[in-house]
Chains A and B, each alone.
Chain A
């Protein structure tokens, strides 16, 4: 009996292959997009974990000295008193033309450094080599005229973070010229059994401060935002896919209603029938999930390189550009497919239970909502939006920002059917002609069946508008800022200070101005940042992009009476110039050097704080600094010739000559790479939403016949009806797109003004791009027309007998 019932149930799919395809495709798309995002996230996280392991795994508590360095004797005394500690020496040094972080450890006591562990086939070089990422070595190597860089025995290791050189403390102290110094002492987890002689650290070394480091916390926060972003996209895509599944399963159930009724009447128990339907569903989910996993893997493989580039470009986070299959990813992908399918079919299964054995199947039963349920949904939507808003008001951080986004999006989606219903009713009331009147009414009647697909479309469109507005605003701001910031025509680096003097002599009379670019480093609140010293020049006054500051800010800086700081530092440490009549915030630069903050400038793309003071102030406090980088002001027309001359004029050659335009091109290239993933996901979600419309229309097709047959019988040709079908679909999609626009703009605002500030520390002005909206609207209408084309074609070609059969009252 079971086998017979099963074959009866399955025969439905044989007779409706398109429906089966739709179901499988919807679920596969949902699973695919979701698991692609998960795969990318998992890969990136694994990379971070690796990076964390490189630097000693779980951060250990540590000892630091108030003055910054711990004497070697202190370390040895503590070891001899029975404390298991491991020394770390850290600092920065300029190698070639690059500043690198140097980390020196004692391999004999350090709890674990994979980078320094020998690997098969590699020379065993822990005590004699230093290790760095190959990109870091490339940065050092290409310009390594510096003898120190040339003598440095550097080995390439992907396990060292970018910009860092890692090695034995004996090599590090020579490189940093800090013999016998230690920056911090790790307190190792395994301490020996205390004999009576062992005293607490607070007694043995009262001037050392014990702390738990939050090293890398900032990177974690930044990358978290990126992953939240991706996850949000993944969930959105999954939800869109589930709309498709819900529609298809509901329809299949509806169409099999007579069959189910017959089977039950023939004596198949409800329990068996339910289990059979459930089993069928799970089987389909597993098949679709499997296809989805393959899709997801392909999408992730295609994107991972760009994601790696994005993360490296944005945060310097080390992510490998290749994908490894992880079992957890496989399991979670299939799990999502099955859970999603069950969730989407819960309603259909529930109906099977509550279906009266002898009830006649209603033509309009499926997918119909009352106006009351629209109101309920709209209220729930309002509630969600309110909750998101509250979250941002009450809590700080990225998560409430994303909660606001989620609340807005989901809330708006829930309110969509109500809003469309109102609009359609308004349209109908303004119409006189009978056909138009019917068309409006027909749209209203069909709305419930399409509403899920339209919700998916709304979400996809709003995301598209929001994210592209953000990215475009970002790009526009960034380009403008580059134009301002890179105001010199040529940037030159010399190999040493002496060549700097030669350069000045060479340039005398050939340029309008030579602006030295010199900087030192300071540590503020545990963060290392650069302090630039500038000479007073009109190009700064004319071009430098200031966000805040008094009119005489440049005079104050030139006189050494104030400092400019970048937006990130200003927001993070809440340091702003005072309003007229008020005092400016005071910036503590360490070593008793205090400067009032007289202005704040935008510094997009820089993840670190930055400070500008007058060159004289900087040299007075930071001592002698290298003088090897210069910006040259000259007539743009002469740039080309001068670059050529500069490249040939020095022996040994200059360390670098960059003209502003290629620098800009390079910066923009990095920027575009940064957001390439966003673009790809945008296109994919829009595609999925278009597919949702198609499947909904297909799903509704058989139910449309009873509604269309009377109109056909009244004299409208099939071709005309088919055209009206397309119009109907395009009109609904167009209305949805119009509603999606404001939602998208709100989304963009949240991204720019809430998420960005939390994630990156800067706020961007919002620009509007109506042309992009028009393109998007056009795309949407085309997608809607294309989705309606297939059912419309079917209608146009439907044999009259099929239409006539509606009147046969066969049911």
Chain B
């Protein structure tokens, strides 16, 4: 799910994040001379192709890198027969490498939580500074938290997940049914032709059960979830304007992650195919076709909410449709993110994220 990194770094660098207070983070970069438009991220560690991921240590935070996240999405079905989507994200953004005690910490944390129903979309956002304990991540036992929001368990195989906003809350239990998936080459995931990269792994196979608290009352839900872990320091090329990112779970047990970075001469497309036994295959940009079919007005922008996704190599030719077209994340850094339904050569569910539509 590397696109989010580039999204945010683009935002920081290009001044897209003009909204306070998240823009304050951007200010931090600019003010301290760390904006570093080039690929050289001054003072920060850069992703290393020779690095081998180590667990549980790499479940925790990497404060030497500029940006990192713990990103969970879930497609759920309620005991009322309706479909739901849930997002729980913890971002870490560093103004400077390393941690410092108390308020002096340069590590900033941001949480996004969302709950999507076919006709509503609830969003909440939290901000915190590292160093004081208001937000952070422990590798083992695993706990990622900001305020009262938590994602915790002994390891990533079993997680408790909680978040709440002004008018919604959820409390879910997750159990992994497959292995962790390393994207790219052993988790070193290249993001552009120029060679920018990140460390990127996922747990795409959670069984989920729990309770959603909605204005209308409680709903018991079951479903499946997908966790992304990624960290990097390098910003994106300046001519890249936005991205479309898909995580799809097909009913035959196979899964697919794919994204396209728009802008430049041609979109940069990449992805990972995950077989039902957990084995993976990198998807080359030439093979994956992502085409918007239908647009709708969301917050005054035209956003594609129906897509055609083709991967001939695997016989995939599907239509991806948003469960709720208005799944807009009106957070400090605004974007579209919501559950989708898959039909065509394969059926299934998934999540779609789109940014950079003006």
Interfacial residues, chain A to chain B (CB-CB below 8 A)? 72-73, 75-76, 79-82, 84, 106-110, 116-118, 123-129, 168-170, 173-174, 179-180, 190-195, 197-198
- Interface check B118, CB cutoff 8 A: no
* Pair B128/A82 contact, Cβ less than 8 Å: no
Q: A80-B134, A195-B164 are in contact. Are A72 and B102 (CB under 8 A)?
A: yes
Residue from B32, B132, B145, B169 within 8 A of A128 (CB atoms)? B32
B29: nearest chain-A partner, CB-CB = A124
- Interface check B178, CB cutoff 8 A: no
15 contacts between A and B (CB under 8 A): A80-B148, A81-B148, A108-B108, A108-B128, A109-B127, A110-B21, A118-B20, A118-B24, A125-B31, A126-B27, A169-B103, A170-B105, A179-B103, A193-B168, A195-B169
Interface secondary structure of B, over-half rule: mixed
Given contact pairs A126-B31, A127-B24, a sample of 19 additional A-B residue pairs in the complex whose CB atoms are under 8 Å apart: A72-B102, A79-B147, A80-B145, A84-B147, A108-B24, A108-B127, A109-B127, A125-B31, A126-B27, A127-B28, A170-B105, A170-B129, A179-B103, A180-B102, A193-B165, A193-B166, A195-B148, A195-B169, A197-B148
* Pair A76/B24 contact, Cβ less than 8 Å: no
Interface secondary structure of A, over-half rule: loop
Give CA–CA (A116, B20) in the complex, Å: 10
* Pair B128/A179 contact, Cβ less than 8 Å: no
Give CA–CA (A117, B103) in the complex, Å: 19
**B95 cross-chain contacts in A, Cβ below 8 A:** 127
* Pair A190/B166 contact, Cβ less than 8 Å: yes
B7, chain A: closest CB distance, angstroms: 19
* Pair B24/A107 contact, Cβ less than 8 Å: yes
Q: A108-B108, A170-B103, A193-B164 are in contact. Are A124 and B30 (CB under 8 A)?
A: yes
* Pair B134/A125 contact, Cβ less than 8 Å: no
In the complex, chain B residues 215-249 whose Cβ is within 8 Å of any chain A Cβ: none
Residue from A73, A173, A190 within 8 A of B103 (CB atoms)? A173
Give CA–CA (A110, B129) in the complex, Å: 13
**B164 cross-chain contacts in A, Cβ below 8 A:** 82, 192-195
- Interface check B23, CB cutoff 8 A: yes
Give CA–CA (A670, B171) in the complex, Å: 64
Give CA–CA (A124, B12) in the complex, Å: 11
- Interface check B213, CB cutoff 8 A: yes
Give CA–CA (A124, B167) in the complex, Å: 34
* Pair B128/A79 contact, Cβ less than 8 Å: yes
B105: nearest chain-A partner, CB-CB = A170
B275, chain A: closest CB distance, angstroms: 38
- Interface check B162, CB cutoff 8 A: yes
Provide the B29-47 mask, 1 if CB < 8 A to any CB of A, else 0.
Answer: 0111000000000000000
B270, chain A: closest CB distance, angstroms: 33
Give CA–CA (A127, B21) in the complex, Å: 11
A168: nearest chain-B partner, CB-CB = B103
Q: Which of A82, A108, A180 has most B Cβ within 10 Å?
A: A108
**B129 cross-chain contacts in A, Cβ below 8 A:** 106, 108, 170
Give CA–CA (A108, B124) in the complex, Å: 14
Provide the B136-180 mask, 1 if CB < 8 A to any CB of A, else 0.
Answer: 000000000101100000000000001011111101000000000
- Interface check B309, CB cutoff 8 A: no
Q: A76-B132, A191-B166 are in contact. Are A127 and B27 (CB under 8 A)?
A: yes
B11, chain A: closest CB distance, angstroms: 13
Give CA–CA (A197, B32) in the complex, Å: 40
A128: nearest chain-B partner, CB-CB = B31
Q: A109-B127, A127-B28 are in contact. Are A192 and B148 (CB under 8 A)?
A: yes
Number of interface residues of B (CB under 8 A): 36
Provide the B106-134 mask, 1 if CB < 8 A to any CB of A, else 0.
Answer: 00100000000000000010011100111
Interfacial residues, chain B to chain A (CB-CB below 8 A)? 18, 20-21, 23-24, 26-28, 30-32, 95, 102-105, 108, 124, 127-129, 132-134, 145, 147-148, 162, 164-169, 171, 213
Residue from B32, B133, B213 within 8 A of A195 (CB atoms)? B213
**B169 cross-chain contacts in A, Cβ below 8 A:** 192-193, 195
Residue from A75, A129, A195 within 8 A of B162 (CB atoms)? A195
**A180 cross-chain contacts in B, Cβ below 8 A:** 102-103
**A193 cross-chain contacts in B, Cβ below 8 A:** 164-169, 213
B88, chain A: closest CB distance, angstroms: 14
**B133 cross-chain contacts in A, Cβ below 8 A:** 73, 76, 80
**B128 cross-chain contacts in A, Cβ below 8 A:** 79, 108-109
* Pair B134/A117 contact, Cβ less than 8 Å: no
Give CA–CA (A191, B145) in the complex, Å: 18
**A129 cross-chain contacts in B, Cβ below 8 A:** 31
B262, chain A: closest CB distance, angstroms: 27
Give CA–CA (A75, B102) in the complex, Å: 12
* Pair B21/A107 contact, Cβ less than 8 Å: yes
**A191 cross-chain contacts in B, Cβ below 8 A:** 166
* Pair A79/B27 contact, Cβ less than 8 Å: no
B164: nearest chain-A partner, CB-CB = A192
Residue from B28, B127, B166 within 8 A of A192 (CB atoms)? B166
B165: nearest chain-A partner, CB-CB = A192
Residue from B28, B147, B171 within 8 A of A82 (CB atoms)? B147
* Pair B104/A79 contact, Cβ less than 8 Å: no
Leading 10 A-B pairs by shortest Cβ distance:
A124-B27, A108-B127, A82-B148, A170-B103, A192-B164, A125-B31, A126-B24, A124-B30, A128-B31, A76-B133
A81, chain B: closest CB distance, angstroms: 6
B108: nearest chain-A partner, CB-CB = A108
A72: nearest chain-B partner, CB-CB = B132
A22, chain B: closest CB distance, angstroms: 56
**A125 cross-chain contacts in B, Cβ below 8 A:** 27, 31
**B166 cross-chain contacts in A, Cβ below 8 A:** 190-193
Q: A76-B134, A192-B166 are in contact. Are A124 and B148 (CB under 8 A)?
A: no
**A190 cross-chain contacts in B, Cβ below 8 A:** 166
Q: Which of B31, B166, B171 has most A Cβ within 10 Å?
A: B31
Give CA–CA (A109, B129) in the complex, Å: 10
A192: nearest chain-B partner, CB-CB = B164
**A106 cross-chain contacts in B, Cβ below 8 A:** 103, 129
B152, chain A: closest CB distance, angstroms: 12
Residue from B26, B102, B168 within 8 A of A179 (CB atoms)? B102
**B213 cross-chain contacts in A, Cβ below 8 A:** 193, 195
A627, chain B: closest CB distance, angstroms: 32
Q: Which of A79, A81, A123, A174 has most B Cβ within 10 Å?
A: A79
A217, chain B: closest CB distance, angstroms: 28
* Pair B102/A80 contact, Cβ less than 8 Å: no
A173: nearest chain-B partner, CB-CB = B103
Give CA–CA (A82, B105) in the complex, Å: 22
B187, chain A: closest CB distance, angstroms: 31
**B102 cross-chain contacts in A, Cβ below 8 A:** 72, 170, 173, 179-180
B30, chain A: closest CB distance, angstroms: 5
**B145 cross-chain contacts in A, Cβ below 8 A:** 80
Give CA–CA (A109, B127) in the complex, Å: 7
* Pair B171/A195 contact, Cβ less than 8 Å: yes
Give CA–CA (A125, B24) in the complex, Å: 8
Q: A108-B108, A118-B23, A193-B169 are in contact. Are A80 and B147 (CB under 8 A)?
A: yes
A190: nearest chain-B partner, CB-CB = B166
**A195 cross-chain contacts in B, Cβ below 8 A:** 148, 162, 164, 169, 171, 213
Give CA–CA (A780, B95) in the complex, Å: 72
Q: A108-B129, A193-B213 are in contact. Are A79 and B167 (CB under 8 A)?
A: no
A191: nearest chain-B partner, CB-CB = B166
* Pair A198/B148 contact, Cβ less than 8 Å: yes
Give CA–CA (A76, B145) in the complex, Å: 12
**A173 cross-chain contacts in B, Cβ below 8 A:** 102-103
Give CA–CA (A128, B128) in the complex, Å: 17
B109: nearest chain-A partner, CB-CB = A108
B143, chain A: closest CB distance, angstroms: 11
B193, chain A: closest CB distance, angstroms: 31
Give CA–CA (A571, B128) in the complex, Å: 46
**B105 cross-chain contacts in A, Cβ below 8 A:** 170
**B124 cross-chain contacts in A, Cβ below 8 A:** 192
**A123 cross-chain contacts in B, Cβ below 8 A:** 30-31
Give CA–CA (A193, B166) in the complex, Å: 5
